Structure 1
């Protein structure tokens, strides 16, 4: 089968053996797979390893065969893949042994995958294949950051620095579903307009004076994945006693901030990563209840995987970038 792999310090398209379902596993024929920013950095971690590893965390497809003991699914079922491994119940932090599909295990950027039946959920019927393919990792990340960690409630005001990522588009939609006011930033006028189209109430330029632009707004919650470039600016507009949730650091891992101002302001700082299977199921129920559709920016073929990576690395997307593995 065709697959996009890491091998000997390179990303490449390669023919790989078709997987077989072992005990407790199923083989899923992948229809579409979602590309995440995580995928872009895996090569640095994998190094010059000569063994080909299929990458990719998100995907949706059809159950093709069942291993011994699998009773929860049938051949022909339409499913999405839960990329969070070995994290079943909601907890304050991931348990020991938690990992994300696509390294060290073979991932979804292939025509087929063999995976534990425990990692599958029924595909929401209202979603297209490309919408379902890019759902699990970014939507679960956003759902946990917003509700489990951020404790967003109706009437709150949410501030999101950076409006174009897949997670940000879910944050906007989920927060509006919950009855919150949403404020976003972007350097792109197009992305500011697109953010308002999917529900953002206020959209301001990233390079503007946030304190001036947001004068009169009471921001209850900030959810930030940009990192060093925006952390202190976010604190400047967050209300005293407000909450800030960090789930990424695309600009810088380290940041300096004034501890005295922080504790006098009684701010609450939370870290968040992905989420549990319990939260994934809650998130799926949420999008079904509210008829929420993921925002898909572009669909590339599996042969165009490197082009899709380049497109995502340049930050051109608004929403999800998807690979079409099979028709």
Structure 2
């Protein structure tokens, strides 16, 4: 089967290769992958910036397709089902945080950028009926991350003023959708005007260019402070967020693309009674509740572009350059015409 593997010896850091089709273990299902979506972790693996890297591992965490084979311990009713894959493994018993055995499909274990993928049967869920394979593949990792950040850790409520920073990435656009579907008032930041316009078209009230020195003043003039901020940058920008969060507000962050916080205005943090909370993907319960919410509200992940598996490098380069609005998807086994 054709697949994309990590290859540090290759000038591109990845390679399209042929491997033998996997055979499911007794507790696994074999999924014929119709579509798989990129995440930043795939690009970070390519750049050798992720822990526990191994050459020859099939990349990819998100995937959707059809169950074509089951292990001997798996209910045969899964055969032929259209599914998407929960890429989180071994969350553990504590809903508050993942355990030490937690891992994500696609490194250090084979992932979804392949024609076939074997996963434990409890990692597959029926695809939401309103989503085709391309959009279903775009949902799992960004969906559960955004759901946990917004709904679980952020405890968003109707009429909350919510700021989603860095609008354009997969998690950010889903966080905005979750907040809107909860009845919150949504605002965004981005480095590109056209992405702000997309956000407003999706239902956001306003957007701010985070490169502008006056964006915090504009935001405060419009809102008088945000109840909840969903962020993935951290670094030096955290003090801007401290300026625009209202007293008693919450800042939830799921990444640190700008690095660690070098300076934090601790006095403002405690005087404004602000909660600063970290989050990551999510538990199995979070994933199930996310799918139910997406299905009930018929939410649709934003797909920026679709590439064949043979053009995966183009998708990686687009992600590297932050050119996308939403998810980048690889179409691997297109659905038949009949």
- Per the alignment, residue 82 of structure 1 pairs with 86
The 1:284/1:72 distance shift into structure 2, 3 A limit, reads farther
- Per the alignment, residue 6 of structure 2 pairs with 6
Aligned partners of 2:31 and 2:69 also within 8 Å: yes
TM-score with structure 1 length normalisation? 0.96
1:90, CA displacement in angstroms? 6.4
1:267, CA displacement in angstroms? 0.9
| CA deviation map 1:261-300 (0-9, x unaligned) | 2111211010000001111110111011111111110001
Structure 2 SS opposite 1:257: coil
Structure 1 SS opposite 2:78: coil
- Per the alignment, residue 255 of structure 1 pairs with 262
1:7, CA displacement in angstroms? 2.7
The 1:76/1:90 distance shift into structure 2, 3 A limit, reads farther
Q: 2:56 aligns with which of 52, 58, 63?
A: 52
- Per the alignment, residue 321 of structure 2 pairs with 314
1:210, CA displacement in angstroms? 2.5
More deviation, 169-178/245-254: 245-254
More deviation, 71-80/306-315: 71-80
Structure 1 SS opposite 2:235: coil
Is residue 185 of structure 1 aligned with residue 197 of structure 2?
A: no
The 1:182/1:106 distance shift into structure 2, 3 A limit, reads same
- Aligned equivalents of 1:236, 1:48: Cα separation in 2: 38
- Aligned equivalents of 1:122, 1:157: Cα separation in 2: 33
Aligned partners of 1:227 and 1:255 also within 8 Å: no
Is residue 29 of structure 1 aligned with residue 32 of structure 2?
A: yes
More deviation, 120-129/50-59: 50-59
Gaps of 5+ in 2: none
Aligned partners of 2:5 and 2:55 also within 8 Å: no
1:230, CA displacement in angstroms? 2.1
1:239, CA displacement in angstroms? 0.5
- Per the alignment, residue 284 of structure 1 pairs with 291
TM-score with structure 2 length normalisation? 0.93
- Aligned equivalents of 1:48, 1:255: Cα separation in 2: 27
- Aligned equivalents of 1:280, 1:262: Cα separation in 2: 31
Q: 1:152 aligns with which of 152, 156, 161?
A: 156
| CA deviation map 1:60-105 (0-9, x unaligned) | 0000101111017422100000000012666111122111111111
The 1:194/1:40 distance shift into structure 2, 3 A limit, reads same
- Aligned equivalents of 2:247, 2:51: Cα separation in 1: 45
The 1:59/1:36 distance shift into structure 2, 3 A limit, reads same
| CA deviation map 1:186-220 (0-9, x unaligned) | 12111011111112111122223133212151310
1:147, CA displacement in angstroms? 1.0
- Per the alignment, residue 211 of structure 1 pairs with 216
- Aligned equivalents of 2:52, 2:93: Cα separation in 1: 36
- Aligned equivalents of 2:164, 2:198: Cα separation in 1: 14
The count of aligned residue pairs is: 327
Gaps of 5+ in 1: none
| CA deviation map 1:111-137 (0-9, x unaligned) | 000111011010001001110001000
Alpha-carbon RMSD: 1.7
- Aligned equivalents of 1:101, 1:186: Cα separation in 2: 29
- Per the alignment, residue 250 of structure 2 pairs with 243
- Aligned equivalents of 2:150, 2:234: Cα separation in 1: 17
Q: 1:295 aligns with which of 294, 299, 302?
A: 302
Matches within 5 A, 1:101-120: 101-120=105-124
Aligned partners of 1:81 and 1:121 also within 8 Å: yes
Aligned partners of 2:233 and 2:257 also within 8 Å: yes
